[in-house]
Amino acid sequence: MAEALSKEIRLNKDTGLLKLIAILTMFIDHLGAAIFPEYRSMRVIGRIAFPIFAYCIAVGCIYTRNIAKYALRVFLVGLLTQPLYVTALNHLEKGGFDWLHQFYRIDLILKHYYLTPSWAIHFTLVMGILVIWTLKKKNYLLTAVALAACWYLKGYLNYGMYGIYLMLIFYALIDRPMASLLWISAYMVWYGLPQLRDRLWPWPEKMTVYTQFWALLALPFIYIPTRSKIRVNKWVFYLFYPAHLAVIYLIAILK
């Protein structure tokens, strides 16, 4: 347990409330992506979800007694959820796989559901956990290997390296609120305004605003302490993911 207390969490510790906000905004985001693409506001609201998940991963890596089990649990949920994720969010061509007659074709299941550039968010979170794990162990050679693996897989990871770096910044500065807020805010602005990636000065005359820019809306929830005392069993959050995808899929069928 001494290792778990090596970092003091000085941001919002009310992770029960944060997770509820994250899954609610994720649900709105996925509804907007799959059912109501004409409402961009739903995708904007959805940008709140991932930064909260990234922060909760950093917190979880500090508090968990067994980080290997933590990573394995997230990975298995993602592995089992992946076919539903690809189907519900329209990443698979309708009728692209016939479960009734091809359920035994492991090669086709891998091709249609796993060997695709659309992976569920769990795989990004697992890679973030693994990188943080190496940092906790102070095995920086493994950290370099883990980051190289993330870079190699970035085309498959939801949010790519942006998501990995976000988790790392939250973890590194979780005991320094002001530094964390400045770095996270700057990183989100840099990522959400693509012209800034080419040059910071002089300021670009024409600015494109990516939807991801609105991830900044998540920051008040992460940096302003709350004391809701909400406690929800961890499996509720794990099971919500496939459940909300099933609901979205049913809505799409009935629409």
pTM over 0.85: yes
Out of 2-6, 99-103, 221-225, 229-233, pick the least confident.
2-6
DSSP 94: T
Separation in Å, CA 63 to CA 37, 66, 104, 136, 179: 38, 9, 41, 12, 21
Task: Tell me what pLDDT residue 253 has.
Answer: 86
For 127-183, what is each residue's pLDDT tens digit? 999 999 999 999 999 999 999 999 999 999 999 999 999 999 999 999 999 999 999
